[in-house]
Amino acid sequence: MPLINFAAREINYKIVYYGCGLCGKTTNIQFIHRKINPDARGKLVSIATEEERTLYFDFLPLTLGKVKGMQTRFHLYTVPGQSYYNASRKLVLQGVDGIIFVADSQITRLDENVESYLNLWDNLLGQGDDLSKLAFVIQMNKRDLTETFSVEDLNELLNHTDSPVVPASAVTGEGVFETLKIVCKQVIAKTA
């Protein structure tokens, strides 16, 4: 559940981009940082290795402005995708309100996608989350590449929750804001 500060008239939601290594989580956040109104965003914080792979997380706060007198913010996080960083992923998932699962559409990345997807549910169940109260969207990324699964096939493989699916290319920006828009509306609906 979000942090609701009635006294300060603030409400904060936490949204996490999840997915296997190199699927495009950081690229999503970087695109949002570049394109959104600068007045609506805070500083982009990245804890990455020297090779610019996410070591712990990326963090980008977005301010929606005052809604019914409440200053409303979305805090966007990514997790490190590589399988051996699971301890870090669990920490980033603490207190999450909404999840964007970024799937890599390339045929060669099928095993990594499935492994990451199962790992997500393991971690959520492990921290006692009530999954019905979480917003969840699947982004089918890298649609601009060749040798990719069809959206229908990926949907059948990964979407057992019948969640919204958005085809995307985080490099070009296609689908990036559409994904974020859906998850932001979902997190608010889940607390209304």
Q: Under the rule (CB under 8 A), what is the footprint of another protein?
A: 1-8, 11-12, 14, 32, 35-37, 40, 42-43, 45, 56-57, 59, 61-62, 64-65, 67-68, 70, 72-73, 75, 77, 87-88, 91-92, 94-96, 126-130, 133, 177, 180-181, 184-185, 188-189, 191-192
Nearest approach, Cβ of residue 142 and another protein (Å): 20
Report the alpha-carbon distance of residue 69 to residue 75 in Å, rounded.
19
The closest of 84, 87, 190 to 137, measured between CA atoms, is: 190
Could you tell me how far CA 46 lies from the centroid of its own chain? Answer: 15
* Nearer to another protein (CB atom), residue 91 or residue 145: 91
In the complex with another protein, the residue whose CB is nearer, 107 or 181, is 181
Q: Are 99 and 89 in contact (CB under 8 A)?
A: no
Please choose, from the candidates 87, 129, 91, 118, the residue with its C-alpha nearest in 3D space to the C-alpha of residue 19.
118
Nearer Cβ to another protein (65/145): 65
Residue 96 or 102 having the CB closest to another protein: 96
The nearest distance, CB 106 to another protein, in angstroms, is 26
Least distance to another protein from the beta carbon of 147, Å?
30
- By beta-carbon proximity to another protein, the closer residue of 35 and 83 is 35
- Give 158: exposed, middle or buried? Use CB within 10 Å, 0-12, 13-18, 19+: buried
Quote the CA–CA distance of 76 and 69 in Å, as a whole number: 22
Report helix, strand or coil for 30: helix
Nearest distance from C-beta of residue 20 to another protein, angstroms: 21
**84 three-class SS:** helix
The least CB distance from residue 24 to another protein, in Å, is 17
